[in-house]
């Protein structure tokens, strides 16, 4: 009936318009963002590029570089070009002495070359101090990068750990569900009582909140990692680095030597700050000495009566006004050379004790820098001792947990087999399942703790922080 009411061409046009509208609607829909596959090394690289702390440290390094350039420039020759124009409407000297001084227009152009010869050691000391500060800021940036690397690794491994716990809780819930089904079958077969079924149901129900909490912990850990990396919260992320027992144990070989001396960037920075402060005392004392500098100036001056100077300066009677005696010589308004050289010596006589106060201030800042260096060395020593102790603890726990997890798995399988044959109770199976969950959880915690302890010790010693070479796709992606 529709075909009889509407002509065929009109229907065809309507179909074409509908298909076009559908195509435009499909194109207008935003495409879902791709999942970001993120390894541990890539996470650290992203943090280095986007971290505000690293940006601040880099900016401080740039400031120190600029300050070093400023300090070094004072020791180099200074060449300046100056130019001026002077228009005189009335000249007292020209009226009182003679018209020769009454020049209405004056043009000047000069090059001034100045070089400081002696300034009491200020220039050299200031340049060396600025160089020490520049090196110190570079070490500060290096220390900040090491700290950030450890923070990213800790957040990354926390996601892996919570994901592993969520997997274990899911397996635990699945085992409890399977056992509930088995108990219900035994009850229907008359082998177990109603009490055993209720006990299995209660046990499974008690596991469900733990499973939900584990999944929530995984989500929160992933959100915290995105926050550290400045990634959008809605960005899907898939972590591809896996820390297993073999990769964690391989990190111990390079860190077992307890005779390694800490080479921390923070200590190097504090030492350079002390050196810069000591040079600051020399800079302050330089004001007690005279300053010697030499200069050379070359340029041109022109005194045209009207207009701009257009030729070289010359003196002749032809340039004088009519009626001027022939012995008089006048200038043509062109450029006359002007060169001079000299030596400047300045010596402070009395400045209200400003120099002495500056020296005392510089000495006080030096003592403060030395005390801060001592504190930094003590802090690094404590940090290294703490990191070594944590590595020993995590190594011992890691060695104990490896065998324990395998034994707990075997005990659970035997308890399950005994229960299926009626040789053990449901309580024994529950206990062995709980023991298996605890063993696997502690094994995962021991593995990640060992890796973090190794990375923390490497940071405390000032060595490159290791990364795990093992990679695999993990389900920790949201």
Chunked into runs of 10 residues, the chain (478 residues) has average pLDDT values of: 39 39 37 73 90 89 93 90 89 67 84 90 91 94 92 91 87 81 80 78 84 91 92 89 70 57 86 95 91 92 85 83 80 88 89 90 95 94 91 84 74 76 71 76 83 86 72 44
98 and 231 share one domain: no
Q: Buried b vs exposed e over 228-251: b needs ≥16 C-beta within 10 Å?
A: bbebeeeeebebbbbbebebbbeb
The strand pairing partners of 284, in sequence order, are none
Question: Which SS3 state, helix, strand or coil, does residue 391 take?
Answer: helix
Task: Kindly report the CATH number assigned to the domain that includes residue 247.
Answer: 1.20.1600.10
- Using alpha carbons, select from 273, 470, 229 the residue that is nearest to residue 371: 273
DSSP state of 76: S
Q: Distance between CA atoms of 264 and 139, rounded to whole angstroms?
A: 9
Both tokens assigned to 462: 């000032």
User: Three-state SS across 140-173?
Assistant: HHHHHHHHHHHHHHHHHHHHHHHHHHHHHHHHHH
DSSP 420-472: HTTSS-HHHHHHHHHHHHHHHHHHHHHHHHHHHHHHHHHHHHTPPPP----B-
State residue 190's pLDDT score.
78
Residue 9 resides in a domain: no
Rg over CA atoms, the chain:
42
- Is residue 161 a contact partner of residue 452, using CB atoms and an 8 Å limit? no
Q: Distance between CA atoms of 330 and 328, rounded to whole angstroms?
A: 7
Looking up tokens 């801060």 gives 372
DSSP state of 284: H
Residue 13 resides in a domain: no
Q: For the packed helices 265-285 and 354-420, what is the interaxial angle rounded to 10 degrees?
A: 170
pLDDT in tens, 332-345: 888 999 999 999 99
State residue 25's pLDDT score.
36
- Is residue 384 a contact partner of residue 262, using CB atoms and an 8 Å limit? yes
Q: Distance between CA atoms of 10 and 20, rounded to whole angstroms?
A: 15
Work out how many domains the chain is built from and give that number: 2
Q: Which residues make Cβ contacts (< 8 Å) with residue 31, sequence separation at least 6? A: none
325 and 197 share one domain: no
State residue 251's pLDDT score.
63
Neighbours of 461 (CB within 10 A): 20
Residue 22 resides in a domain: no
248 and 265 share one domain: yes
DSSP 111-133: EEEEEEEESTTHHHHHHHHHHHH
State residue 283's pLDDT score.
92
Residue 174 resides in a domain: yes
Write phi, then psi, for 80 (nearest 5 degrees). Answer: -130, 145
186 and 53 share one domain: yes
137 and 242 share one domain: yes
Residue 2 resides in a domain: no
Residue 62 resides in a domain: yes
- HSE toward the beta carbon, residue 168, CA cutoff 13 A: 24
Both tokens assigned to 375: 């504190």
Q: Which domain holds residue 318?
A: 78-118+291-346
- Is residue 382 a contact partner of residue 305, using CB atoms and an 8 Å limit? no
187 and 300 share one domain: no
200 and 110 share one domain: no
Beta strand 291-302 with 78-87: parallel, antiparallel or unpaired? unpaired
331 and 437 share one domain: no
State residue 474's pLDDT score.
41
Q: Buried b vs exposed e over 101-111: b needs ≥16 C-beta within 10 Å?
A: eebebebeebe
Neighbours of 27 (CB within 10 A): 8
CA triple 261-266-270, angle to 5 deg: 105
69 and 191 share one domain: yes
- Is residue 273 a contact partner of residue 373, using CB atoms and an 8 Å limit? yes
Q: Distance between CA atoms of 179 and 183, rounded to whole angstroms?
A: 6
Residue 135 resides in a domain: yes
Average pLDDT over the chain reads 81
135 and 47 share one domain: yes
State residue 330's pLDDT score.
82
98 and 160 share one domain: no
State residue 223's pLDDT score.
93
- Using alpha carbons, select from 240, 256, 257 the residue that is nearest to residue 468: 240
270 and 305 share one domain: no
Question: Which SS3 state, helix, strand or coil, does residue 309 take?
Answer: coil
Q: H or E stretch including 291?
A: strand 291-302
Residue 470 resides in a domain: no
């Amino acid at each position: 009936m529709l075909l009889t009411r509407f002509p065929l061409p009109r229907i065809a046009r309507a179909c074409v318009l509908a298909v076009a509208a559908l195509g435009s609607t499909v194109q207008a829909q935003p495409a879902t963002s791709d999942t970001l596959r993120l390894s541990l090394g890539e996470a650290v690289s992203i943090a280095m590029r986007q971290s505000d702390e690293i940006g601040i440290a880099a900016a401080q390094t740039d400031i120190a570089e600029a300050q070093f350039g400023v300090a070094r420039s004072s020791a180099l020759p200074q060449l300046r070009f100056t130019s001026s124009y002077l228009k005189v409407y009335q000249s007292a000297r020209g009226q009182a002495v003679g018209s020769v001084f009454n020049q209405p227009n004056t043009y000047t152009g000069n090059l001034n070359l100045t070089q400081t010869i002696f300034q009491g050691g200020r220039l050299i000391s200031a340049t060396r101090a600025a160089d020490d500060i520049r090196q110190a800021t570079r070490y500060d940036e290096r220390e900040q990068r090491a700290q950030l690397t450890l923070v990213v690794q800790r957040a990354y491994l926390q996601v892996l750990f919570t994901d592993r716990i969520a997997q274990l809780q899911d397996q635990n819930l699945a085992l409890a569900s399977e056992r509930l089904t088995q108990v219900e079958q035994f009850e229907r077969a008359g082998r177990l009582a109603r009490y055993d079924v209720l006990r299995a149901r209660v046990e499974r129900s008690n596991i469900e909140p733990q499973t939900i909490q584990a999944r929530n912990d995984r989500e929160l850990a992933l959100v915290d990692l995105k926050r550290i990396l400045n990634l959008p919260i809605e960005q899907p992320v898939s972590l591809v680095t896996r820390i297993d027992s073999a990769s964690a144990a391989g990190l111990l070989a390079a860190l077992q030597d307890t005779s390694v001396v800490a080479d921390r960037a923070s200590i190097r920075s504090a030492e350079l700050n002390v050196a810069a402060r000591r040079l600051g005392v020399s800079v302050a004392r330089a004001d007690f000495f005279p300053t010697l500098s030499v200069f050379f100036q070359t340029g041109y001056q022109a005194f045209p009566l009207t207009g701009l100077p257009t030729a070289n300066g010359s003196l002749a009677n032809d340039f004088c006004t009519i009626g001027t005696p022939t012995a008089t010589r006048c200038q043509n308004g062109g450029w006359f050379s002007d060169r001079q050289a000299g030596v400047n010596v300045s010596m402070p006589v009395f400045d209200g004790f400003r120099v002495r106060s500056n020296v005392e201030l510089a000495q006080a800042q030096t003592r403060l820098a030395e005390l801060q260096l001592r504190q930094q060395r003590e802090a690094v020593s404590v940090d290294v001792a703490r990191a070594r102790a944590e590595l020993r603890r995590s190594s011992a726990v890691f060695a104990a947990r490896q065998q324990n997890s395998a034994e707990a798995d075997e005990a659970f399988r035997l308890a399950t087999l005994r229960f299926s044959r009626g040789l053990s109770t449901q309580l024994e199976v529950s206990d062995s399942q709980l023991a298996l969950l605890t063993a696997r959880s502690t094994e995962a915690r021991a593995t990640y703790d060992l890796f973090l302890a190794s990375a923390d010790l490497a940071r405390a010693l000032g060595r490159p922080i290791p990364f795990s070479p093992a990679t695999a796709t993990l389900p920790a992606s949201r």
